[in-house]
Structure 1
Amino acid sequence: MIVKEITRILEELAPLSHAEDFDNVGLLVGDKDQKVNGVLVTLDTLENVVDEAIAKKCNLIVSFHPIVFTGLKKITGADYVQRVVIKAIQNHIAIYSMHTALDNSNRGVNAKICEVLGIKDPKILIPKKGTLKKMVTYVPKADAHRLRDALFAAGAGEIGNYSNCSFTIDGTGTYRAGEKANPTKGETGKTHFEDEIQINIVFSKTHQSEIVKTLLENHPYEEVAYEIYTLDNTDANIGMGMIGNLVKPINEIEFLYQLKEKMNVSVIRHSELLHKKVQKIAVLGGSGAFAIDTAKALGADVFVSADIKYHEFYKADKSMVIADVGHYETEQFTKNLLVDYLTKKIPNFAIHLSESKTNPIKYL
């Protein structure tokens, strides 16, 4: 297999179009057409991880966090980012990052936390905006069924657990073909009236290029009229964080002890305890303070995340408990998730779980 074939598989789990605008995801170092001998999966790409990849004969590193986050103006080895890039290039090792694309996947970082904590039937906490598009196009009645089926096959018309969704309106289209035109129907220089169907169809922006390509290839007209809109509607399967319920309510201090054990942490920073039983749990891997108000509004008893600042703990406001278990700790299971996913997708291929320690924070 080559690099782009493996990254295509990863993008089925976490499309890069779902990443946040500030992020730097995808292939960061290397040649997309390079043959892959082995894959090393890690949370961070540091020098010791590149050394591990060399030792294990892996020439593709799949990393959760991007080693290159902002633009590099020079590569001289002056800092750890530059040294990693230099070493990777010298050893023909490609580096691919997933980060917020995987954060926004309903099978990603937060789904894994829910699995570890025993949270049942979790739903997305903050659905991502701008992921749904709508296409409107116009086609002769005789061709509508064939075109609609082609668009469905390309991924259009999927809403939640439903597929082949569309809406049509009968109408009359008009056009006059110019001298250089080759009209499918009508005559050059004369205004033509055609009984048409207006097709309205929703799709994920991930599929936009394929859907437009399908439209142009399957529409009978020489010039195809269509419009594409970004919808304010959100996809309930794409977004940050998750919220769900424990099997049964438990005492909040008991939950915190379970949290400490299951997340394998030595300390938990938390807001004031409310001395009640808890059941509805919200989680968000990594820096999650921006989701506190949403978790509270949705009735979470506990919000589990990381990088909560001093004054942000006050936002719990005696209505829920905020539990900060650490940034690395909330994301630690991500590389296991990716190894399991890739192993199922491409069995009998060399997929390695990195053994390198990359947590920059130590506790005394």
Structure 2
Amino acid sequence: MSESQDRLAHPDKTVTQNATLAVAGGSAAEQFETAAPGMAPSPRAERPARRRPFGRWFADTGWRHVVAIVVSAFAIFPLLYVLSASLNPSGTLTGTNQLFSAVGIDSYVRILTDPQIPYPQWFLNTMIVALITGFTMVFIGALAAYAFSRMRFTGRRVGLITIVVVQMFPQMLAVVAIFLMFSAISDWFPAIGLNTLSGLILIYLGGALGVNTYLMYGFFNTIPKELDEAAKIDGAGHARIFFTIILRLVAPILAVVGLLSFIGIVNEYMIASVLLIDPDKQTLVVGLTKLVSNPRYADWSGFAAGAVMAAIPVVIVFLLLQKYIVGGLTAGATKG
């Protein structure tokens, strides 16, 4: 039976199907009208947005904002206090609890021009020691980490553990030995003995192998060894592989180690105070500490001004290397 004959034989069925299609078509049209982009939504689709209760919002994300504000205030307040103290013309901490109650640059001018306070020389000495030592520490640590990561030799694991265990002992245990050793060296080689920046650099480099090497070692292990094997097939030796391939791939960890070394050397006081005697040879930390060592007259304003200026190069280095910090600190933790 054809379709036309079926419609004539069953008219009620045809009417029912047409009604069903009309209802379905209307629903589809309404859906299309609501979902079509660029068209005004149907009045039926407009519903008022429901706002989440404050308690639910605070439990989900609000408490994080509170924690961030508290931590930020806790970190910023000491910085504001030091900046306020450096701008206090009186030279004392009196009235410093009222931040920026008195503002002046007298402390900065005094610390830069007073012949009894060779601050520019302290600053220069610190930068020389920090830059040379930081760069050399990174280079020595990278060489050691490459050897431990890529080469297999007797005592490799013992040596790796030893250089980490040695770092557990504080520097105070070695101060007396260092002083006696460099006192003897001064009699034979005065250029690297007591009261010399070169001697201080050598002492710092003696502790270059340690946590830095272990940190680099973990990062070096994340570099595929297939790159080394492919380079060896082309005739490259360890030196060429290290300088042309590996160093470019491990730039993040080199930046992190260099930054940590630079900050640590700028802030180091114990060994520098023992080895450096003359004021013109001292570093910033040692020189600034003497400004407040006298209990009768402590130039806290000058100390704060010197600390603010000493923080400038550290902040600059940090900003230049900040994009490498997260990757350099976390990548080495994925593979030991």
TM above 0.5, yes or no, is no
More strand by share: 1
TM-score (norm 2): 0.25
- The structure that has the greater radius of gyration is 2
| Higher RCO, Cα 8 Å, sep 6+ | 2
More helix by share: 2
TM-score (norm 1): 0.23
